[in-house]
Structure 1
């Protein structure tokens, strides 16, 4: 039996996936993410994997590394790299419960990217049940901090990928169902305005509002957006009392750049904004960065294989570069053959409408099984 013909059942997969979705795991809740890792470790162990728990660092949850029995264990093989953290805070299930309707399934993190991670686990389960083997040893690495730029586990991912023949990322598919063969750079910046406090009712003129200064800076920063380099402020923290002129305001910026040159210009433009205006000091600190990942011959060979397999399964797999960052930025930039966004199809990721198309579960499981049994 060919791996693409394995008997994947959508309802059974939904039953197995549901506990993962109902185990909420927002990035900043290390204990919650670690509970999710324990759940995934249990399921991986149940299908024969040896699972190692990697302690969390920098305040993030644990990671898990799972290896499957193979005659060539320890030699270069296939790395399945995924993250188990989500952007949804604990309690989101009250607004976005797991539910199934009209061929779709909803839930926090079901598209990004627990659904794709589960698809690859199910592929390994069915490969073993059928008595098939993978030509290369397979390792799963699930990490806890991708949604905030992978500040704690980038080294873990790069070390794991460095010795592999291929890296597969079950991130959600592109809107047309396609795979990602390259990604733009992503840079993060921390902003700080430091003003002068005063009583907002008695002595308003004596103060210098860090909030007002930050608001003006935000407009200036977002106006720097072009087709090749974008800037977006997504987080602001400031103030404790409405009757006080705020002396400090913090914000976070996400920048996307299509090329390294675009990224370098964007970083320079951000850093050049620093300085004092009207008694308010403005500081820009560069945060984590995802490097540009340009398509390479090894990646294109993986895509060609995936496209052939998808044709056998009955769908067309397109490919493109993407502006959304992932841990594929790291492995692709290392020139390790990397194929990204081969997870489930769906819509609404990072929103209260996050859902998947149920028929993409067996579809992508067949693709995963085909890749795992054909990559040499």
Structure 2
């Protein structure tokens, strides 16, 4: 039997995926993410893997590393790298419950990226049940902090990827179903304006509003966006009393750059904004960064194999570089052959319409099984 002929079943996969989707796991809720990891660890163990729980750091949840038995365990093999955190706060299920209708399935995190992670686990489960052995050892690493730039587990991912023959990242497929073979750099910045407090009614003119100053800076920052380097302010925190002139405002910026040169210019432009203006100090601190990942020969060889498998399954697998970051940025930038966004098809990730095309569960499970049994 070929791996492409394994008995994958959509209804069975939906039944297995549902508990994952209903175990809400927003990044900043370490306990919730760790509960999700426990659930995935149970399923990985039932599929035959030896599972190790890696304690969380920096306030984030745990990670899990699962190794499947293999005659050459310990030698270079395949790393399946995925994250279990989502952007949806606990309680999102009330507005976005798990449901299936008209060839789609909805739920928080089902597309990004619990669906893809589950697909690869199911592929390994079916490979083991069939009596097949993958040519190379297979390790799964699920981490808790990708949605905020992977500040705690980048080193864990890089250590797991170092020396491997291939890294497979089941992030959701591109809109046309394609895979990602390179990604732009992603940089984050923390902004602070520090003004002077005063009573907003009795002594307004004595104050220097950190909020007003930040508002002006936001317009200035977002106006720096070009086709090659974008800037977007996504978080703002300030103020406690409406009758007080705010003395501090904090914000966060996400920047995307197509090349390292674009990134360096963007970082310099952000730093040049620092200083004091109108009695308000503006402070810029660079946060976590995802490096530029350029397509390399090893990645292109993985793509060739995946495209051959896709053709045999019955679909065309396109490829492209992508602006959105993932943990594939790290492994790809290391030079480890990395194939990203080979998870499920869907729409609406990070929204209350997040859903997958249910037919893509079997499609992508066959692709996963083909890759796991053909990469050598």
Q: TM-score, normalised by structure 1?
A: 1.00
Equivalent pairs counted in the alignment come to 376
Tell me what 2:4 maps to: 4
Once residues 168 and 33 of structure 2 are traced to their aligned partners in structure 1, the CA distance between those partners, rounded to angstroms, is 22
Q: Which residues in structure 2 correspond to 1:161-310 (within 5 Å)?
A: 161-310=161-310
Tell me what 1:354 maps to: 354
Once residues 47 and 172 of structure 1 are traced to their aligned partners in structure 2, the CA distance between those partners, rounded to angstroms, is 23
Q: Which residues in structure 2 correspond to 1:1-376 (within 5 Å)?
A: 1-376=1-376
Once residues 273 and 6 of structure 1 are traced to their aligned partners in structure 2, the CA distance between those partners, rounded to angstroms, is 57
Once residues 133 and 176 of structure 1 are traced to their aligned partners in structure 2, the CA distance between those partners, rounded to angstroms, is 32
- Structure 2 gap ranges (5+): none
Q: Deviations over 1:160-219 (max 9, x none)?
A: 000210000000000000000000000000000000000001011110000000000000
* 3-state SS of 1:269 partner: helix
- Structure 1 gap ranges (5+): none
Once residues 169 and 29 of structure 1 are traced to their aligned partners in structure 2, the CA distance between those partners, rounded to angstroms, is 23
Once residues 262 and 81 of structure 2 are traced to their aligned partners in structure 1, the CA distance between those partners, rounded to angstroms, is 28
C-alpha deviation, 1:5, in angstroms: 1.1
* 3-state SS of 1:202 partner: coil
**Divergent runs of 4+, >4 A:** none
* 3-state SS of 1:332 partner: helix
* 3-state SS of 1:186 partner: strand
C-alpha deviation, 1:7, in angstroms: 1.0
* 3-state SS of 2:287 partner: strand
Once residues 153 and 322 of structure 2 are traced to their aligned partners in structure 1, the CA distance between those partners, rounded to angstroms, is 22
RMSD: 0.3
* 3-state SS of 2:205 partner: helix
Q: Deviations over 1:201-256 (max 9, x none)?
A: 10111100000000000000000000000000000000000000000000000000
Once residues 296 and 163 of structure 2 are traced to their aligned partners in structure 1, the CA distance between those partners, rounded to angstroms, is 17
